[in-house]
Amino acid sequence: MLTACMLPLRMLGLLILMLSLCDADSICPTELNPLTLDVPRVIERYGASVEVNCTSTEADHKGMYWRIGNNDFRAIPGESFISQSVSLSEWNVTAECRILLNETHECIKELEITIYQNPTVAVFPVNRAVEGTLFELQCNITDVAPVQNLVVRWFKDNQTIRTDNFTNTTTTPVSESSTLAVNISRAEHGAEFKCEAQLDFGSHGPQLPIDSEIYIVSVNYAPEFKNTSEDFFVHEGDDVTLNCDAEGRPQPTFHWKHDGKILSDTNNLNITRVNTSGMYNCSAINFLGKITKEIHVHVTMNIPAAPAVITTPAVITIPEPYKRRGCPLVLTPAKIVVRFGDPVSINCSTSVAVPIHMGWETTSGDVGDNGTSFTWSVEKVEDWSIKSACFITYDDNGNDTQCYVELDITLYKTPDIVSVSALDSGPVMEGTEIQLKCDIINVTPVQKLTVRWYRGTDILRTDVLDENRRIPVNMSSIFNFTAERDYNGAELKCEADLQLETNRPDLGHHLTSSPYTAVVHFAPEINEGTCSKEVNLDGNVTLDCSAEGNPLPDLHWNYTTAENVRETTRWHQKSLTITGATSTNAGFYICVATNYVGEVTSTVTLKMKGQISVFPWRFLWWLLIGLIVVFIVIVIVIVHKYYKKLGRYSFVLDRANDGSDIPIPPLSNGAEDTV
C-alpha cells in the first residue's frame, strides 16, 4: 500500500520540475528567436569601430533596441531593422540586439566580439652559446591579445623546428615568452635562429601580419692546440721562431713563459742567437679555459769526441808520495761549480820562495806561469771527465819534496725539460689512485738533484735522488695520491732543483714543469637538499635544483604535471615555477641529478598554507565503519546461536500421539532426541 502511494508522488514531482523548466525557457526559445545579425561575429583590432545590423522576422513587437555594455539605446517599436556602431575601445565590451515581443517576453541576440592586438617580438639569449652545452634563446612576446590565438614558431636557417600555442583564456593584452633550448656545437656558429609570432584566427578570420626577430648565434669554445708538445732542434747561435697558434672563440690571448719569466703576449715568439736548450710554455686563454703548450728547444753543440790535451800527461797520474797533507799550495778558489760550457779560471800559488818545479797537470785548458803563481783557465768547459791538479817540487831542509792539490770541480747542467704526465691518461673516478710521473731530461749531477711536488704553492712531497753520475742523464720521480673530488681542477707540478753553490748566482738551478690539471669524475651532489615548502592558495612559488658533479650532471624534475607548472633552465640550475597554486599542486617534487658516475635525488614537499588535513577525518570514518562491521558480525553470531538453540527439538519416527496420519520426518542421522 505504501509503495502504491509513493508512485503518484514521484510522478507529481517530475511534472512540477518539467513545468518549471518550460517556464524558464519561455522567455525566448532559441528556435523561436526572430533576431538575426548580418555579421554574427566580429574580429577587429583594439580601438576600431564596427557597424552592425540587426533584423527581426517578427513585425508585431513592442520595440527593438541595442544594449552596448550597460547602456540601453532607445527602443523603436514596429521596426524590423536597426543598425548600431560599436566602438571597440574597451577590451570587455558587449553588444546585444534586443526585441520586446510583449510585456513579459524579450529575445536577445548577442554579437560575438573578438578584439585583438598584434604582438611585438624580441629575442635574446638566456645564456652563452658554449659548445657541448644547452643553449637557450628566449622570445618575449609583449602586449598581445587574445593570447589563446597566438602562435609562436621557431626557425633555424629558415626551417621550422618548434611551434608553441598558449591556453590562457584572458581577453586583455598580456606578455608571454617562449624558450628554445638546443644542444649547440661549433658547426652551428653563425646559424640564424628566428622567432615568429602571429595571431591565428583560422582560414575564415583575418590574416594578420607576422612579427619576427632573428638572432645570429656565436658559438664559444675553449682554446685548442693541434699538438700539445713540440720539439725544435737548432744549431747553437741560430735564430728560431716558435708558433703558438690555437683555435678558440672568443679568440684566445697568448702568454709565453720561459724559466718563470713572461716573454711575450703574441702568438709567435722570436728567439735570436739560441745558445742553450730549454722549454718554452705558451698559454692560450679565453673565458672558457686555459691550455698550455710545451715547446722544447734543443740546441746542438759540437762537443769534441776526445778532450784536447794542452799539457802532458793526458791522464793525470801522481805518485802516492805526493798525496800528503801540509802541501804549500793554495788554490783560489779551492772549490768550484761550473755550468757545462761556461769558462773557468783557477789560480795555484805557493808560499815557497823558490820552488824547484811547479805547474798544473790537466786534461784540458791553458796554464799561465808566473813564478810562484800559476793560473789554469778554460774558455768553455766541454769535457765531462775533466780533472786538474796543481803540483810543486821544493827544497825542504835539503830534501827534494813533491806534493799536489787536486781541484774540486763540479760540472753541472740544468734539465732541458721538466714535465709531468699521468701514467694512466684520461679522467679518473673519485676514490681511485692517480700516479703521476715527473720526467727530468738531461741533468747532472744527479746526487745534487732534489725533486719537489706541488699542489698550487703547497709542497706535497720531496724526493732526493741518490745517484753518482758525472754525465747528463734522464731521471724521473713518481707521485701517487688518491683522487678525491677536491682534486678536480687542481694544478700539480714538479720542480727539479740542483742544490749547488756556484760562482754564478744570477743563473737559476731549478726548473718547474707546466702544471698538470687533475680531472676527477665524481657522482652528482644536489646543492639544495631535501626540504619542505609552503605556498598560499593562488600564490606563486619557485623550486630550484642545482647540482655539482663531474661530468656536469643532467637535471630533471619528477612531479605530477599541471598547466600552472612551468619548467625553466638557467645555466646549471633547473627550476619549477608554480603560479596560482591550487590544492592539486601539493605533493612531492623530486629533482634527479644524473651523470655516468651515479644518480642522486632530492625531494621538495610542497604544502598548502591553511589547508586542513583530511587524514584524521578519513581515519575516523574508517574506524567507525570498522566498528559497525564488527558490531554486525557479533549480532549475527549471537542471533545464529540463539536460533540454533531454539531449533534443538527431536521427533520420533511414529505417527502422532493424537492418532493423526501425518508422518513425522526422520532426523538426518536416524537417531532420536528426547526433550
Residue 6, pLDDT > 60, answer: no
Q: Which residue has the cell 585583438?
A: 116
Span 426-440, average pLDDT: 86
The CATH topology of domain 523-608 is Immunoglobulin-like (2.60.40)
For the chain, give the longest Cα–Cα distance.
Answer: 183
**Residue 505: what pLDDT?**
52
How confident is residue 483, by pLDDT bands cut at 50, 70 and 90?
confident
pLDDT (tens digit per residue) in 623-664: 889 899 999 999 998 887 776 666 544 444 444 444 445 444
Domain spanning 413-518: CATH superfamily: Immunoglobulins (2.60.40.10)
How confident is residue 53, by pLDDT bands cut at 50, 70 and 90?
very high
Q: Identify the CA nearest to 388 among candidates 368, 371, 365.
A: 365
SS (H, E, C) 413-452: ECCCEEEEEECCCCCEECCCEEEEEEEEEEEECHHHEEEE
Span 414-424, average pLDDT: 86
Residue 226, pLDDT > 70, answer: yes
pLDDT (tens digit per residue) in 385-409: 888 888 888 888 878 888 888 888 8
CATH 2.60.40.10 domain span(s) along the chain: 26-116, 120-219, 222-300, 413-518, 523-608
The CATH topology of domain 26-116 is Immunoglobulin-like (2.60.40)
Span 149-157, average pLDDT: 93
DSSP secondary structure code for residue 89 in this structure? -
- Return d(Cα 179, Cα 125) in angstroms, integer: 9
CB 165 within 8 A of CB 141: no
Q: Which residue has the cell 628566428?
A: 194
Q: Which residue has the cell 718554452?
A: 280
CB 301 within 8 A of CB 340: no
Residue 19, pLDDT > 80, answer: no
Rg, C-alpha atoms of the chain: 52
The per-residue DSSP string of 182-201 comes to EE--GGGTT-EEEEEEEEB-
Span 442-469, average pLDDT: 86
Question: pLDDT higher for 20 or 416?
Answer: 416
- Helix, strand, coil share of the chain (percent; to 5): 10, 50, 40
Cis, peptide link before residue 515, omega less than 30° from 0: no
- Return d(Cα 191, Cα 184) in angstroms, integer: 10
Domain 222-300 class?
A: mainly beta
Residue 190, pLDDT > 60, answer: yes
What H or E segment, with its residue span, contains residue 4? helix 2-25
Residue 310, sorted as left (phi over 0), alpha (psi -120 to 50) or beta, turns out to be: alpha
- Return d(Cα 188, Cα 359) in angstroms, integer: 80
Residue 588, pLDDT > 50, answer: yes
pLDDT (tens digit per residue) in 61-83: 889 999 999 999 998 888 889 99
Q: Identify the CA nearest to 85 among candidates 111, 55, 109, 53.
A: 53
**Residue 15: what pLDDT?**
38
CATH architecture of 330-401: Sandwich (2.60)
Residues 6+ apart with CB under 8 A from 110: 94, 95, 96
**Residue 180: what pLDDT?**
93
Least confident of 144-153, 398-407, 446-455: 398-407
CB 182 within 8 A of CB 138: no
CATH architecture of 120-219: Sandwich (2.60)
Q: Which residue has the cell 540587426?
A: 54
How confident is residue 320, by pLDDT bands cut at 50, 70 and 90?
very low
CB 220 within 8 A of CB 129: yes
**Residue 141: what pLDDT?**
92
- Return d(Cα 81, Cα 74) in angstroms, integer: 14
- Return d(Cα 25, Cα 19) in angstroms, integer: 10
pLDDT (tens digit per residue) in 535-583: 998 899 999 999 999 888 999 999 988 889 998 888 778 999 999 999 8
Question: pLDDT higher for 425 or 123?
Answer: 123
CB 68 within 8 A of CB 97: no
**Residue 611: what pLDDT?**
54
CB 448 within 8 A of CB 467: no
Share of the chain above pLDDT 90, in %: 28
Span 136-145, average pLDDT: 92
**Residue 264: what pLDDT?**
80
3-state secondary structure (DSSP) of residue 628: helix
Amino acid, single-letter form, for residue 140? N
The per-residue DSSP string of 329-366 comes to EEEESSEEEEETTS-EEEEEEES-SS-SEEEEEESSSE
CB 455 within 8 A of CB 492: yes
Q: Phi and psi of 374, rounded to 5°?
A: -125, 135
- Return d(Cα 606, Cα 673) in angstroms, integer: 73
